[in-house]
Amino acid sequence: MKAALIGSRRALAVRSSDVRSLLRYAKDPAMVSLAGGLPSPELFDIEGIAQATEHALKQSPVECLQYGMTEGQAALRHALVGLLEKRGIHATVDSIVVTTGSQQALDLIARALLDEGDTVVVERPTYLAALQALSLAGATYACIDVDDEGGQVEQLLALAPDPRIKLVYVVSTFSNPSGTTMSRARREVLVRWAMKHQVVILEDDPYGELRAAGERVESIYSIAASIPGASDWVCYTSTLSKIIAPGLRVGWLVMPPALVELVARIKQAMDLHSSSFAQQVGAAYLESGRLPGHIERVRTEYGKRQVTMRGLLEEAFGSKLKLRHSEGGMFLWGEFTDGTNTRDLLQHALEQGVMFVPGDVFYAADPQGNAIRLNFTSASVERLELGVARLQQAHRLFASLTKAAA
């Protein structure tokens, strides 16, 4: 049998993540990576996690090491109710399903709601690995554009009612990749539209706690809770990845009752349950009271790095690079106004020793070739300075070559 013939149509149709394939260049210590979405390794609370691990093993050895419930460990689900309360989200233990990272939450919701060819509304641009999960479930897409106030949900109002639209997926706060936050007004328009058309919203919120400036915006989930009948249409997912550590692979979904049982059934088939050990460590860490101080340290450092990178980019590129407004998270999003194609620029950037992600990978349709996603969390301020200087040099070389060829 020819190797090329092995694989289902769906599997073969899913494109590999360009972000993950770029990671191999990041192994070179001389390379400045502005590409991945990695939390800063120096900021991991190793001591706190070691204490939480010891505590979990001593206090709950069986819960750590034995098979557990598909919906998740009781200790973690209780701790998550408390964490969510601080975000203004009133969830019950029974409305939460723990997942293997929030990536699995995307996969579960896609499998639970979509039949082949169903439509999902996504932002342009949106999170690449969400597109992978949705496409594996057979999704087709309708897109809404993004501006400085997040996804332009007003564009939904122009869509003809269509029973094949089953889901709206949004990264509501400090989006990956655009860094933008959807305004309160738009969130409410979205909730009312979804309720009217009976479409589920999946609010993906890994970055909301990483606010460096400005005021917190109420979650779509809690806006829906204040509108009679609306909460049946909103699911919320978040994760410990960006606030504690991605290696734990602990995320969760908060859902209306009708979806909890369905999602748990699908998860049984996928992995029985998420790691008991990681869940107990996560629960012990949340109960230890260290999280608020840890998040404060991370927010302060990321805020510094974001301001530094924005300043450096503005100085290096001026009006040639239009940057999106962002008040936190892990990414800056730019669009070149001088005709630069960022996929071509990347080749020169790699030669100069800096890498980024070309923006075109984040589009479900009509990719924009002039866009660039830059991560500011995984490199120190000094490395960011070096990275932007190299990017500027790569852009200069690229611009002069393009001019010469014209």
Tell me which residues touch ligand PLP (CB under 6 A). 37, 101-103, 127, 171, 176, 204, 206, 239, 241, 246, 251
CB of 205 to ligand PLP, least distance (A): 8
Which H helix or E strand runs over 241? none
* Residue 106 vs 224, nearer CB to ligand PLP: 106
Peptide bond into 125 cis (omega under 30): yes
Reading across the β-sheet that carries 234-239, which strands appear in turn? 96-99, 251-254, 234-239, 200-204, 165-171, 119-124, 140-147, 150-151
Question: Taking the complex as a whole, how short is the minimal distance between the CB of residue 374 and ligand PLP, in angstroms?
Answer: 14
| Residue 7: burial class (beta carbons within 10 Å; 0-12, 13-18, 19+) | exposed
Q: Which is nearer to ligand PLP, 274 or 352 (CB)?
A: 274
Place of tokens 């866009």: 371
User: What is the nearest approach in angstroms of ligand PLP to the Cβ of residue 100?
Assistant: 7
CB of 221 to ligand PLP, least distance (A): 15
Q: Is 393 left (phi over 0), alpha (psi -120 to 50) or beta?
A: alpha
Q: How far is the CB of 207 from ligand PLP (least distance, A)?
A: 7
CB of 241 to ligand PLP, least distance (A): 3
Q: Rounded to 5 degrees, what are φ and ψ at 222? A: -80, -25
Residue 60 structure tokens = 């709950």
Cβ neighbors of 13 (< 8 A, separation 6 or more) are: 135
Gap between the Cα atoms of 331 and 180, Å rounded: 9
Nearest residue to ligand PLP by CB is 101
- Would you call 226 helix, strand, or coil by DSSP? coil
Which of 39, 334 has the CB closer to ligand PLP? Answer: 39
Please identify, using beta-carbon distances, which residue of 106 and 195 lies nearer to ligand PLP.
Answer: 106
Give the nearer residue to ligand PLP in terms of CB position, either 202 or 224.
Answer: 202
* CB closer to ligand PLP out of 195 and 355: 355
Query: From the CB of 218, what's the least distance to ligand PLP, in Å?
Result: 19
Q: How far apart are the first and last CA of the chain?
A: 47
* Token duo for residue 61: 């050895």
**Nearer Cβ to ligand PLP (153/170):** 170
Q: Which is nearer to ligand PLP, 108 or 394 (CB)?
A: 108
Minimum CB separation of residue 99 from ligand PLP in Å reads 8
| Cβ 248 to ligand PLP shortest distance, Å | 9
Fill in the amino acid letter for 21. S
- Type of residue at 225: A
The set of residues, in sequence order, having a beta carbon less than 8 Å from that of 377 and lying 6+ positions away, is 37, 38, 39, 40, 302, 305, 330
Q: Which is nearer to ligand PLP, 95 or 239 (CB)?
A: 239
Q: How far apart are CA 85 and CA 199, in angstroms?
A: 26
